[in-house]
Structure 1
Amino acid sequence: MSDIIRINRVSKTFGEGASMVTAMEDVSLTIKAGEFIVFLGPSGCGKSTLLRMIAGLSDTSRGSIMVDGRAVDGRDPSVGMVFQTYTSFPWLTVQDNIGFGLDLANTGSRARTEKVDSLLKRVSLTRFAKSYPSQLSGGMQQRVAIARALAVEPQILLMDEPFGALDALTRVEMQTFLLDLWSQDQKTVIFVTHDIDEAMLLADRIVVFSPHPGRIAEIIDVDIPHPRTIDETEREDFDRLRHRLRRLLFSMAKNAA
């Protein structure tokens, strides 16, 4: 697999002078096309800050980020993003929310209809095409958000704790749904979470961040083949990985106190 994202010695500061805060310091990482990468760490460790810089929503203070050989400079249509909060437009139906990016790209009517109908089927929302976001459950709203991100066929999908606001059962359903989509498309996914079990279930590699300022503490390969199910997280190899991650996170929290 070829490298699609190169992060080189990136730092991020906020404010100036005595009030300046260093949110992230000297982070370097290379991500290959088709990888499922999880950023794991406590709140305030810079996971979401780095994701926003990859997306072009925030500038680096130092260092560089390259996506598919190009320096990040503002929003890139090859990069899609899904946030934790429900971001559907409440005045648009499900099908119009999914087709929003296609409208911005001046996609023809027939091609738009075909793409939206295909995505509605993939995310199991065909019978809710004419519904509005307020009529949907949280999990369904996140399916809309994922479908909208996929509609413009991005190479890279960035996901900032997209299932964090969901109840436990719906969260598991959405994790399974996402793995199914990824196995079909093999897009490059970067997924932010602070949940260890979620990270283990999803990731090819887990990038663990330490806080204050955010740095990469360790990168862990998850050498457990896909497809994975939630039941498999009780396996002995998952259990060893769980304990390793817990020890690492607890150690960082103790040192930061």
Structure 2
Amino acid sequence: MLREKDAWMMNGYVGIVAIIVLLGLGAFSFYEAHFVLGAISLLVAIVLGSGITLIQPNQSVVVIFLGKYMGSIRKEGIVITVPFSIRRTISLRVRNFNSKRLKVNDVNGNPIEIAAVIVFKVVDAARAVFDVDQYEEFVEIQSETAIRAVATNYPYDTFEDVELTLRGNAEEVSNQLARELQDRLTVAGVDVIEARLTHLAYSTEIAQAMLQRQQASAIIAARKQIVEGAVGMVQDAIERIEKDGIVDLDEERRAVMINNLLVSIVSDHGTQPVINTGSLYN
């Protein structure tokens, strides 16, 4: 695995001035019939001119000479580097990659559609050029692979607060996706800045059935919470009545009161009170 290093370079403006001087010297030498000096001046000017490179901000130029990596240049502006070398420009700017909508199965086997946006940038131009083929395509393929891997580790949704879900824990899932991506893209000299889910839904063929399942699960969860709350309220009421000595209840009457209180609290509709005009036991 290559490590990025600095390539040889010189100030471009100084080099251009030197080229102009050499061209002038060559022309003058030919005029004075000093052909050897003129040929040498022109040859040196051509050699220096072949190394002129223009680098924009947030770009890196990878210099290759006779198949060997000579280094990288990040200094913006005009520079002169190794003559007759191959120079590949790599952008160091922050970029976005929007994945396609992928159809995968969550941890429960339910087919879902998922997509994400990946924010990344190249931090090592040498790795991006030499350690992978077409690093942009590499980022795309590895991003989709990581999205699939993360999606299969979590359920789409659940009404139990005991596990992470894709819908309910987007922040944690996105962080896991970013870590998974960074592990895969380090080899390409790429730094993952952020990864966020942009689309998450059940597949169309099961969407209606899963909606009904969600509604049923929501009703069950709500009923469970209502019953738990009602039991606690009834228990507190009975204990307070007995503690304050408001009335003494035997086991049968206690059961009747508990039943009436539970029915009035849990019922979906308002209960109709019945006034007992006799004694408590009639």
Whether TM exceeds 0.5 here: the answer is no
RCO comparison, higher one (Cα < 8 Å, 6+): 1
**What is the TM-score of this pair, normalised by structure 2?**
0.23
Look at both structures and tell me which one has the larger radius of gyration over its CA atoms: 2
| Higher helix residue share | 2
